[in-house]
Amino acid sequence: MFRRRDAGAGGAVNEAATDAAGSGTSETGRNAVTPAKGRPTPKRSEAERRRRQPHSAPANRKAASSQSRGRDRAERARRYEAMKRGEEWALPARDKGPVRAMTRDYVDSRRRISEFYMYILGLLFVLLLIKSAATAAIVYPVVLVLVLVMAVEGFMTARAVKKLAAQRFPAESTRGITRYAIMRSLQIRRLRMPAPRVGPGRKA
């Protein structure tokens, strides 16, 4: 009698447990199913690699070389434009520093005969090709006057630049700025590099 009752109770318990397990399994199965995306999920390392390398790698050595030359051209163009604007990072060593920037501004803010030196020199060269005593009598005195004018302008520019640098930048070195100022004053204005930031008549 007792065994039959126990068996009945045990069967009921087993049945309930089986039903609960089956119900839990079906629920878990329903929750575990996710809709298909049509493609496998990429690994994290692969996704990171794609994000870091947005451009595909060149197919061969020739393509790699062409790609490298393109990057170099773009970098040179960017550096050239920055140098024209006078950005410090792009300037060569001879143009860097606040003293050199002040020197350029001082030279560019004034009109001088020296900046037309190349034009005058070309004209005198053409005149020398004309074999005439009258032309020679004109050219040589003009050359002497031109040299004298450039010497006077160079001396005045060098003295003014050194004085201005001592006032504005007393702690900075002024070595070489007189030659730097004279050489810039002899250049044609539109060919100066870095390009002038101030025009004639403006305060440097």
pLDDT at 39: 57
Mean of the per-residue pLDDT values for the chain?
Answer: 78
Q: pLDDT for 137-184, tens place per residue?
A: 888 888 899 999 999 999 999 999 999 999 999 999 889 999 999 999
**Position 14 confidence tier, pLDDT thresholds 50, 70, 90:** very low
Distance from chain centroid for Cα 67: 19
Whether residue 58 has a cis bond before it, omega within 30° of 0 = no
pLDDT at 49: 62
Model's pTM, two decimal places? 0.63
**HEC profile of the chain:** CHHHHHHHHHHHHHHHHHHHHHHHHHHHHHHHCCCCCCCCCCCHHHHHHHHHCCCCCCCCHHHHHHHHHHHHHHHHHHHHHHHHHCCHHHCCHHHCCHHHHHHHHHHHCCCCHHHHHHHHHHHHHHHHHCCCHHHHHHHHHHHHHHHHHHHHHHHHHHHHHHHHHHHHCCCCCCCCHHHHHHHHHCCCHHHCCCCCCCCCCCCC
**Position 66 confidence tier, pLDDT thresholds 50, 70, 90:** confident
pLDDT at 41: 65
Q: pLDDT for 84-140, tens place per residue?
A: 988 999 999 999 999 999 999 999 999 999 899 889 888 888 888 887 888 878 888
Domain boundaries in the chain?
A: 97-191
**C-alpha torsion sign, points 31, 33, 36, 41:** positive
pLDDT at 38: 55
